[in-house]
Chain A
Amino acid sequence: MTFRTLSSCSAAILCAATALLFTACDDDNETPAKGKLNVEFENVAGSQPLNFGSTYTTAAGDPFTVSKFNYYISNIKLTKTDGTEWAERESYHLVKQADAGSRSFQLTDIPAGEYKKLTFTIGVDSARNVSGAQTGALDPLNDMFWTWSTGYVFLKMEGNSPKSPTGNLQFHIGGFRSPNNTIRTVSPGMPAGVTVQVTAKKTSAIHLQADVLKMFTGPNPIQFAQTSNTGHSSDPNSVKIAANYAAGMFTIAHVRAGE
């Protein structure tokens, strides 16, 4: 585009200025190379793939099925082996089990290099919870927004279990105010000895698994007979489940080097 302007540019002074700019860039060694990285989420239940309607069993022995499983992944950061960090701008992603396209996305404009750590928030930062009408992943149309108590549902899992007093499971986890703040930031470990190469030419992929069973184990074991729904931004049970899923729901299964 710049060249087209130049070719039709009759003002010599503008051409000269542009030439100077190009020279300046050349002197500056090279523009740091940027690359892309694919991030993939695969929802599972223990060692099995997650499918709506299939029966799984929690660590406590409660059978259940899943009919909805959505969560926000936000404020993604990558850390290089030298410790420098890169953060995605406008970093809000909604992963829905029902929408295959939502389960992977691409990070762009990442400085090339070797990265050792991936960090993200499960949920939405408190500022965006109260910032008015949002678009994209944060559009209140996405069925992840409480209208009567402003804020996002960070994770939504619905299903059924014979152990639930009502037969239903409805875990809507959210809330960003103390003491019921459920915003959790995690850095699932890379497979041993693995780093992620970001280059201008090849796009690698980080493949994560989200294990729905981990909502119900960990620091706060859940039994559906006692806890079968949370539907409130100030529900202490939401905090317990957030602690569970922060402790190990997300793992990096593998990193696929770009080809």
Chain B
Amino acid sequence: MKRTRTAPLAAVLAGLLMAGCQPDADVQQPAEAVPGSVLPGNFPTPVYALEQNSPDRATFELGRRLFYDKRLSGDGTVACSSCHLQPAAFADPGRAFSTGVQGRLGTRNTPPLQNLRWRRTLLWDGGASNLEVMPLAPLTNPLEMDGSLAGALQTLNADAYYRRRFAAVYGEGPINSQQFLRALAQYLAGLTSANSRYDHYVRREGGAFDATELRGLAIFRANCASCHATDLFTDESFRNNGLDRSFPADSGRAHITGRRGERGLFKVPSLRNVALTAPYMHDGRFPTLGAVLAHYDHGVVESATLDPALRRPDGSLGIPLSAQQQAELLAFLQTLTDEPLLTNPQLGPPQ
């Protein structure tokens, strides 16, 4: 109940606004809600609550402009949007590793940006523990934007347009780091994926699954949903899914915690829009979803930190899936594609 009240409230407010300012309101379209201001009914309680950074149009638009602004990078060539492409749910399709400034290659696969409001930790290793400071990681990473917070603020403060827009939201004065990061966080928090065919199906908003998709859903619930849990399709945990026997190049979660028992653990990714975000895994090693399912069926390898969910009672590893089951799972995974997220002009480059 609480989660749905924003929509009518926003509608009423928008109505009042239009009634007040637009004499010919009858010919206007109703104002669209600010992205991120409505919490889907089938989602759990968000981590980054609406009240922490109340969505409003001016702040959201500022954040959107920042997201698409290449000048924030060290040499002015890479924006957040350079590697987070809206048509791919803000992932970098077809690339195991994305290209940062000066053609430098990153070390992990670019994750999609969606439903970040519900994330307890961010990045593959959970290194970022708050949405507001997460962008500092790519901003300052020499392989990505190779910039600095001070440099970004200098750029913004030298720009009369930004100064005016920030002043309108936060009051007069130099643009500071908190304003910059909170504006960007508001855009990021607005990248909600909750309008896939699956969502309409589970919210009973019309749109039926065919028999194959229904069988795929049943297989998914029986075999995958313990990790890819809730309608966010992740339980936010870190797990070793049996990709490697050792982890010399990337220890994953252990890189953050220093705990030996967490070597080779990575964040369980959401499966929303998964059909669009190939290649897969933290290092982009699997080119197709078929290859991912083949891995779970017969590719899981032993290591000290292998997730217990991938050990079977008979001592074998993985999740056995027949060819037919894999086909049905793939059909189900297609239903997680959220067209509105991919095409909503409000999330695209600012005009």
Q: Which residues does A use to contact B, with CB under 8 Å?
A: 129-135, 139-141, 145, 147-151, 177, 179-180, 232-236
Instruction: Please name the residue on chain A nearest to B141 by beta carbon.
Output: A148
**Least Cβ–Cβ distance between A257 and chain B, in angstroms:** 39
Among the listed B140, B177, B255, which residue makes an inter-chain contact with A133, where contact means beta carbons less than 8 Å apart?
A: B177
Among the listed B127, B130, B134, B178, which residue makes an inter-chain contact with A139, where contact means beta carbons less than 8 Å apart?
A: B178
Among the listed A130, A131, A177, which residue makes an inter-chain contact with B257, where contact means beta carbons less than 8 Å apart?
A: A177
B256: chain A residues at CB < 8 Å are 149, 233-234
Cα separation A149 to B150 with both chains bound (whole Å): 19
With A140-B177, A234-B256 in contact, is A148–B130 under 8 Å at CB? no
Instruction: Tell me whether B182 and A141 are in contact (CB under 8 A).
Output: no
Cα separation A98 to B294 with both chains bound (whole Å): 58
Instruction: Tell me whether B150 and A147 are in contact (CB under 8 A).
Output: no
B33 at the interface (CB under 8 A from A): no
Number of interface residues of B (CB under 8 A): 30
Query: What are 5 A-B contacts defined by CB distance under 8 Å?
Result: A132-B181, A135-B178, A140-B149, A147-B137, A177-B257
SS class, residues of chain B in contact with chain A:
helix
Instruction: Tell me whether A141 and B149 are in contact (CB under 8 A).
Output: yes
Instruction: Tell me whether B130 and A150 are in contact (CB under 8 A).
Output: yes
Contact residues of B between 149 and 165, Cβ < 8 Å to A = 149-150, 153
Instruction: Tell me whether B127 and A150 are in contact (CB under 8 A).
Output: yes
B195 at the interface (CB under 8 A from A): no
B149: chain A residues at CB < 8 Å are 140-141
Instruction: Tell me whether B136 and A130 are in contact (CB under 8 A).
Output: no
Cα separation A26 to B137 with both chains bound (whole Å): 57
Among the listed B132, B139, B153, B259, which residue makes an inter-chain contact with A147, where contact means beta carbons less than 8 Å apart?
A: B139
**Least Cβ–Cβ distance between A236 and chain B, in angstroms:** 7
B102 at the interface (CB under 8 A from A): no
A233: chain B residues at CB < 8 Å are 256
Instruction: Tell me whether B127 and A149 are in contact (CB under 8 A).
Output: yes
Cα separation A149 to B124 with both chains bound (whole Å): 11
Instruction: Tell me whether B258 and A147 are in contact (CB under 8 A).
Output: no
B29 at the interface (CB under 8 A from A): no
Instruction: Tell me whether A133 and B181 are in contact (CB under 8 A).
Output: yes
**Least Cβ–Cβ distance between B185 and chain A, in angstroms:** 7
Instruction: Tell me whether B131 and A132 are in contact (CB under 8 A).
Output: yes
B243 at the interface (CB under 8 A from A): no
